[in-house]
Amino acid sequence: MVYLDTSILVALLTREPSARRVSEWLRQQAPGSQHVCGWTVTEFSSALSLKLRTGQIDTALKMTAMVAFNRLISSSLVMLPVAFPDFHAAARLCDRSELGLRAGDSLHIAVAVSSGLPIATLDKVMAAACNVIAHPVQLI
């Protein structure tokens, strides 16, 4: 069981250089063991729009990635709820400026902590923050 940071899904579905590594890692995971939360849906769309605006992907790849993402959400990924205490915990993480976390990453960590799940990420800042707060993390 693992909580997937959005960076994993963006890399996999937009053919980032780390996509092969992510794909190999995901193949080793048990079916139904990957968790995300509702924030992942928003953050994924935002990441794809940014990639489109900056010329990293074209409209066709954006649409293909969105279809694949929605298929994963409906068939493979376990969707966790985000509760008010998660927002409060995320704010407390943001208060710790030494962690260097953005709001969205803090919310991912808070949801993973409240769900008792380790985090899988490509984000080195997020991984370092997890290490500081002693939350299990796997940097893919």
The CATH code of the domain that includes 102 is 3.40.50.1010
Strands 137-139 and 119-121 turn out to be parallel
- Give 98's DSSP letter: G
Report pLDDT for 79.
97
Length of the chain: 140
Q: What does the pLDDT look like over 56-89, one tens digit per residue?
A: 999 999 999 999 999 999 999 999 999 999 999 9
Residue 139 Cα distances to 22, 60, 80, angstroms: 10, 30, 21
Report pLDDT for 90.
98
Total domain count for the chain?
1
Report pLDDT for 134.
98
**DSSP letters spanning 53-87:** HTTSS-HHHHHHHHHHHHHHHHHTPEEEP--HHHH
Report pLDDT for 20.
97
CB atoms within 10 A of CB 72: 17
Q: What mean pLDDT do residues 95-123 have?
A: 98
In one letter, which amino acid is 28? Answer: Q
Domain around 108: 2-139
Report pLDDT for 15.
92
Instruction: Please tell me whether the overall predicted TM-score, pTM, comes out greater than 0.75 for this model.
Output: yes
Q: What mean pLDDT do residues 19-37 have?
A: 96
Task: Match 């966790």 to its residue by tokens.
Answer: 80
Confidence of residue 34 (pLDDT cuts 50, 70, 90): very high
First to last CA, the chain: 15
